[in-house]
Amino acid sequence: MKKNTSKELLEGSRAIALIINNIEPQVVSAYPITPQTHIVEDLAKLKADNLATYEYVRAESEFAAASIVLGASAKGVRTYSATSSQGLLLMTEVIYGISGLRLPVVMTLANRAISSPINIWNDQQDAMAIRDAGWIMFMAENNQEAVWQHILAYKLAEKTSFPAFINVDGFILTHCFEPVQIPDKKTIKKFLPKYKAKKGKYLDTKNPITIGAFLSPNDYQTVREQMYNDFQKTLIEIKKEYSIFKKIFNIKSTATIDNGLLEYSGPKKADTIIIAMGSVIGTIKETLKNNKKIGILKIKTYRPFPNQTIYDIIKGAKNIIVLEKALSFGNFGPLYLDIKTISSDKQNIKNFISGLGGKDITQAYILKIINKFNSYKKINFI
């Protein structure tokens, strides 16, 4: 491995596998599914080559893999898994169980279209299916950001007792080769110390506890309300930890605002702001690199949704473009609905849905949206 400051030309999946190995989970379990497969294959090979210390547990399904990391995390050890699309849907029951038990599990979600019809290419409909499950959800623009977000996710999960997903666009990122810096274990430990579960918070035969107990209606609501309030507080922790993270890993940002929750580039008082998340942000940036009038708002943390932080940026804009790779049947897109709740009725906000099933979002599309914005309906398939 090269020095911490160097970059290597790596496939996105390989970069994720290497950073997970350096983070040193004790238990890894997953079931392969395109386009997540290379991540778990690389992790299995690292273990087979005696380059990893974790226990790699083969599972017969995604449901089993999620159950294995749930059990391991409940025993008080650092865990990892990865999945995609239909695999995530098979995990869904356990996904809710993990968050309800307040277990700091971290997973990579290689975003892919949901069947039917069958499609193995990228969009973000799988992530939207579990957006309300009580997991911190990061959205990566590129593979370097995905690497950073995995380190950050473990710190936040273990500090707040909420699980975390790192969303990476399938194929576009997982199978793309980019120059990526992989921090070494020593540097990672400066930010993310060895995990030690708190006494009384994990299963131990010497100190028995009950988790996931049966609750009456009144008690259940009380517990879920407390979970909701705690989850909202993670917004503060994300900003705080990201500030520390940037200093330790010497991250330089050219954005006007970059706080772990979002990134904003452009004028302070932009008339038009385009909002998106994931790899499409790279295309938007390239399209508008010479445009000094339009603002670009990248959502880095999708859950919990940073309502106030977004509002502070968009409140003065006349036109808001929400471009997303997911839909909600019978309504607008999920990201649009989130933005709409904090926008003003006086603002001209329109929803553009594209990239479903891997359909290419081109610079020409983006320019067309901007140039003909006023002629479009409130919801548009591009």
Average pLDDT over residues 300-323: 98
In CATH terms, the fold of domain 8-248 is Rossmann fold (3.40.50)
CA dist 34 and 114 (Å) reads 12
Average pLDDT over residues 282-288: 98
Angle (CA) 327-328-331 rounded to 5° is: 120
Q: Which CATH number fits domain 257-381: 1.10.238.10, 3.50.30.30, 3.40.50.1980, 3.40.50.920?
A: 3.40.50.920
Q: What is the DSSP letter of 166?
A: E
Reduce the DSSP state of residue 209 to 3 states and report it. coil
**CATH 3.40.50.920 segments of the chain:** 257-381
Per-residue pLDDT band at 5 (split at 50, 70, 90): low
CA dist 48 and 36 (Å) reads 19
Average pLDDT over residues 251-261: 95
Length of the chain: 382
Rg (CA), the chain: 20
pLDDT (tens digit, 9 = 90+) per residue, 28-57? 999 999 999 999 999 999 999 999 999 999
Q: Give the position of tokens 């909600």.
A: 328
- Mean of per-residue pLDDT scores for the chain: 97
* Contact between residue 350 and residue 373 where contact means Cβ atoms under 8 Å apart: yes
Q: Which two tokens stand for residue 226?
A: 């407390």
The percentage of the chain sitting over the pLDDT mark of 90, rounded to a whole number, equals: 97
CA dist 339 and 306 (Å) reads 10
CA dist 90 and 320 (Å) reads 36
- Indicate the pTM of the whole model: 0.97
User: In DSSP terms, which residues pair with 175 in a beta bridge?
Assistant: none
Per-residue pLDDT band at 3 (split at 50, 70, 90): very low
Residue 4 above 70 pLDDT? no
pLDDT (tens digit, 9 = 90+) per residue, 69-100? 999 999 999 999 999 999 999 999 999 999 99
Average pLDDT over residues 326-334: 97
CA atoms within 13 A on the CB side of 55: 11
pLDDT of residue 1: 36
Residue with the larger pLDDT of the pair 10 and 6: 10
